[in-house]
Amino acid sequence: MQMSTPKIRPSTFSIVARDPANGDLGVVVQSKFLAVGSVVPWAQAGVGAVATQSLANTTYGSEGLRSMAAGWTGPEALKQLLAADHDSSQRQVALVDAFGRAAAYTGQACHAWAGHIIGEGYACAGNILVGEDTVEAMARTFEATPGSLAERLVTALAAGQAAGGDSRGQQSAALLVVRTGGGYGGRNDRFIDLRVDDHVEPIAELRRLLDLHRLYLAKSAPEDLLPIGEDIACELQTILQKSGHYQGEINGVYDEVTKKALWDLYGIENLEERWHNTLIDTVALEFLRQRFRE
């Protein structure tokens, strides 16, 4: 007797959301599945975000975004997706459109525990979970957490894991946040696109990557900028000597030679987004202190 090939069902929990403050759209997800970021999260700036999971139909991502780009609301796009899929009972999907209208669906054939919560501007969902506490914790934490959309999403995901999470364990996680012109160099909308494909603690690793993203790619906050006076100039010249970019005297003068050496070091350390010519970003300065301390 020939045995049928079992269908792979990623046990997954995720959130899709819109930031009402700036219109950012995002998805965060964790799963006992290799490279979940290559399957579940989809988003397009000014259009919407989609998480497609359980026996994931990846066309839910592309078609859901196409429908919302054509003017369909999140709930309308969801109905269209389900109507076109004869295996919809095995799917789980969450959507939010560019106006924060969220929708979600958990098919009756999804493995327990499976379910979702829809809130103001977000939806969270999970399947093959320890229990409903995971989804409830994600929703509660997302609503209560201040800060950027990325911070709120990752904090909520961690709360879901702490409440039980995936019944099979952890393996991968991903965060996708889109913003018009938010990508590197302003040429695409991938503001944050981070993936942990295989890790014993993927959510903790995802948070570490988000911290690095802030360091290397976030814009400087005005309150973090200081004039480069004599004391800071001396400190920079000392750091630059250790890095091998400056061979001059440590005299506290931020001259063109020192400035050129600092720019070269910024390039080596990928700190270009925090360059301000005659001002120093204290986040970058603290990174350099730690990097070149004795």
For residues 37 and 166, membership in a common domain is answered with: yes
pLDDT at 135: 97
Is 4 inside a domain boundary? no
pLDDT at 158: 97
Q: Residue 99 and residue 109: Cα distance in Å, rounded?
A: 31
Is 226 inside a domain boundary? yes
For residues 117 and 198, membership in a common domain is answered with: yes
pLDDT at 2: 43
Q: How far is CA 288 from CA 208, 215, 268, 276, in A?
A: 18, 11, 12, 15
Domain's final residue, options 217, 237, 256: 217
The CATH number given to whatever domain includes residue 207 is: 3.60.20.10
Domain's final residue, options 194, 217, 240: 217
For residues 151 and 279, membership in a common domain is answered with: no
Would you state the structure tokens that stand for residue 101, as one six-digit string?
A: 């209208």
For residues 195 and 241, membership in a common domain is answered with: no
Is 69 inside a domain boundary? yes
pLDDT at 294: 63
Is 160 inside a domain boundary? yes
* Model pTM score: 0.90
pLDDT at 8: 54
For residues 58 and 200, membership in a common domain is answered with: yes
For residues 89 and 209, membership in a common domain is answered with: yes
pLDDT at 146: 96
For residues 182 and 273, membership in a common domain is answered with: no
Tens digit of each residue's pLDDT, the chain (294 residues): 344 444 555 579 999 999 999 999 999 999 999 999 999 999 999 999 999 999 999 999 999 999 999 999 999 999 999 999 999 999 999 999 999 999 999 999 999 999 999 999 999 999 999 999 999 999 999 999 999 999 999 999 999 999 998 888 899 999 999 999 999 888 999 999 999 999 999 999 999 999 999 999 988 999 999 999 999 999 999 999 999 999 999 999 999 999 999 999 999 999 999 999 999 999 999 999 999 986
Strands lying side by side in the sheet with 41-44: 41-44, 48-54, 91-97, 102-106
Is 6 inside a domain boundary? no
Is 195 inside a domain boundary? yes
Domain's final residue, options 186, 217, 248: 217
User: What is the domain range of residue 264?
Assistant: 222-291
For residues 138 and 207, membership in a common domain is answered with: yes
Number of compact structural domains in the chain: 2
Helix (H), strand (E), coil (C) string for the chain: CCCCCCCCCCCEEEEEEECCCCCCEEEEEEECCCCHHHCCEEEECCCEEEEEEECCCCHHHHHHHHHHHCCCCHHHHHHHHHHCCCCHHHEEEEEEECCCCEEEEECCCCCCCCEEEEECCEEEEECCECCCHHHHHHHHHHHHCCCCHHHHHHHHHHHHHHCCCECCCCCEEEEEEECCCCCHHHCCCEEEEEEECCCCCHHHHHHHHHHHHHHHHCCCCHHHEEECCHHHHHHHHHHHHHHCCCCCCCCCCCCHHHHHHHHHHHHHCCCHHHCECCEEEHHHHHHHHHHCCC
For residues 241 and 187, membership in a common domain is answered with: no
pLDDT at 7: 57
Is 213 inside a domain boundary? yes
pLDDT at 3: 40
pLDDT at 9: 59
Is 200 inside a domain boundary? yes
pLDDT at 4: 45
For residues 193 and 250, membership in a common domain is answered with: no
pLDDT at 184: 85
For residues 154 and 259, membership in a common domain is answered with: no
For residues 175 and 193, membership in a common domain is answered with: yes
